[in-house]
Structure 1
């Protein structure tokens, strides 16, 4: 099998995709701005000179769009044009479809490839850990969102990666979109209660307006245009867009998706 190029190789899903591919014995190439280890290749979205070398000999690509870029098409389109024969699996998002400006425009680009899949995961369980604002505010005792009491089918990044690996390596390309959720939908208040139980201290959900949330994102260093996109996603959640559960993880991988309580008990510290 030809190499699989993994973009976002140090991220929530990219790192897991890389590990799962290597566990299967699949030859991989980890894209990074600063390669320091065998198996890594220099890649920078802003430097097209790095694209050809990263793609040389590649048979499939795990594509994570440029982070924090509201209009990624001008960067991604020439990159894909340099890989006309590669199967491409795009990490998108549950609320994004072909008509959505920005990230949604990449769906059509990927569908031009000879094999493709678009992953549309709901919100990551891993947002409750690490440096994500949800995780930071959870550790401070109050998760802050603009979602009200609406529910979300939070999904584990390991399950997203497992679906991606199948889409990258199955004999037949999937040539479809996969909407990915966990096995149940929870409100942030319900999730906060599970986190509080795990931590042994109070954690609540504090609802704010989308304007307040955007301001918080900007204060945390997120560009204003992208902060507005993130706040609008919370608006959509409040209106019920993520209150759904799919069986895609189990159907594609053959095993059930991890539930939020199991995730919390195993990963939240």
Structure 2
């Protein structure tokens, strides 16, 4: 049995779902967070090595890279080495469908784990369905009846964070080491026009997809006070979608959990109260 498990990013979109699923399975899930408030919480900050004590007694960890910096390997490697020294043997990393082991950001962590950990798995989900309820698109849907993007007609097989969490728990509790990466997607690739139509149907009002050119989207995001380097990254990601890099589906969720991933239609039906 892999127990206990430290869930880093334990109060975030995936972390809180992973922790809940582990607890429901009777596994001791310790929630790593910068602001511990509950008995199961452990203070955790990738940039503070004094937080390595959060790994004490744990045999596995769910790894979510810090979201406030881009030098992921530089800040995560010292902590991962501390985790290994404390007896953690299984590491499951949340990465992205866009980042393989030769890529920057989480890709560098992926490559390091593959070369240094005896028991590892990398989950590479596509874009989250929750972006339209809990994220920035959710805000503009509720407040402006619009979704803004520079994705054009590019399509994405959006995935429910609950399906990511189910795959994470499967990886964390597997009988043997996976030592592999898995791309996770929803069941169907959709354009943002498709998304707007489905959200409109469930919200009971018209939601527009405002298709923007990169310069216009940059101007909009800059006006919102988003840091320029982050604006550039967001626009580039939209252009990656426009170019077709995310227009794919995989059997990853089915292979890991034994059930198909949730459809976007089912997701918005279950979450229509969050659409305003």
TM-score interval, normalised by the smaller of the two chains = over 0.9
Q: 1:241 to 1:79 in 2, by over 3 A?
A: same
Q: In 2, distance between residues paired with 1:234 and 1:9?
A: 27
Per the normalisation by structure 2, the TM-score is 0.92
Counterpart of 2:24 in structure 1 is 23
Across the two proteins, how many residue pairs are aligned to each other?
A: 267
Q: In 2, distance between residues paired with 1:213 and 1:68?
A: 22
Moved more, 26-35 or 220-229: 220-229
For residues 185-228 of structure 1, the C-alpha deviation after alignment (integer angstroms, 9 at most, x for no partner) is: 10011011000011111101111233433444444454322332
- Counterpart selection for 1:158 from 159, 162, 170: 162
Structure 2 contact 102–111 (Cα < 8 Å) conserved: no
Structure 1 contact 153–243 (Cα < 8 Å) conserved: yes
- Alignment pair present for 1:193 and 2:197: yes
Counterpart of 1:210 in structure 2 is 214
Query: Where do 5+ consecutive residues of structure 2 fail to align?
Result: none
Counterpart of 2:48 in structure 1 is 47
What is the RMSD computed on CA atoms of the aligned residues?
Answer: 1.4
Query: Where do 5+ consecutive residues of structure 1 fail to align?
Result: none
Q: Give the CA deviation at 1:99.
A: 2.0
Structure 1 contact 68–226 (Cα < 8 Å) conserved: no
For residues 96-133 of structure 1, the C-alpha deviation after alignment (integer angstroms, 9 at most, x for no partner) is: 11222222211112212111111111110000002x21
Q: In 1, distance between residues paired with 2:162 and 2:59?
A: 23
- Alignment pair present for 1:149 and 2:150: no
Q: 1:117 to 1:210 in 2, by over 3 A?
A: farther
- Alignment pair present for 1:235 and 2:239: yes
- Alignment pair present for 1:224 and 2:228: yes
Superposition misfits of 4+ residues, deviation over 6 angstroms: none
Q: In 2, distance between residues paired with 1:81 and 1:62?
A: 15
